[in-house]
Amino acid sequence: MNELAYYDFIMHITAGVAFTLIIIVILLIAHRSKIEKQKTLQKLIENGREITPEVLEELGLKKKRRPQDDFRKGVILLVTGVILTATFKLIGGIAWIFGFLPMILGLVYIAFSRFKIAK
């Protein structure tokens, strides 16, 4: 039984490290992308080009917010919350409560997107 506990411990450590590494890689890729956009913007300024809102949108530095984007985020968060709640409920214990936060955030996003569309 002691050997099984050891393997269980190693499995949890490995999963935690893998999850952390995935998050770090995603953040590094996003950071590199932002640095490249800033370098491009700096080159445009050095060449004397005018920086217009269209140029910023083309570079991805300024985005137009649309209600459909909030609705999409809301649906993704709602589905993620439902899946987390169902998965943790099947596993047992009280961990299934952690699925409520994405569900609530998803419902708020959906409600606000509907209010924006109604205006």
Q: Is the distance from CB of 99 to CB of 86 less than 8 angstroms? A: yes
CB atoms within 10 A of CB 81: 20
Q: Report whether pLDDT(36) > 60.
A: yes
Q: Is pLDDT above 60 for 104? A: yes
Same domain, 5 and 49: yes
* Type of residue at 115: F
DSSP secondary structure letters along 25-85: HHHHHHHHHHHHHHHHHHHHHHTT----HHHHHHHTSS----HHHHHHHHHHHHHHHHHHH
pLDDT, position 51: 81
- Window from 5-9, 64-68, 97-101 with minimum mean pLDDT: 64-68
Question: Are 81 and 93 in a shared domain?
Answer: yes
Please name the amino acid found at residue 23. I
Q: Of 63, 91, 109, at which residue does a domain stop?
A: 63
Task: Residue 113: name the closest of 64, 66, 80 by CA.
Answer: 66
Same structural domain for residues 52 and 70?
no
Q: How many domains does the chain have?
A: 2
Its domain, for residue 24, covers: 1-63
Q: What is the pLDDT of residues 45-72, one digit of tens each?
A: 888 888 887 777 777 776 666 667 888 9
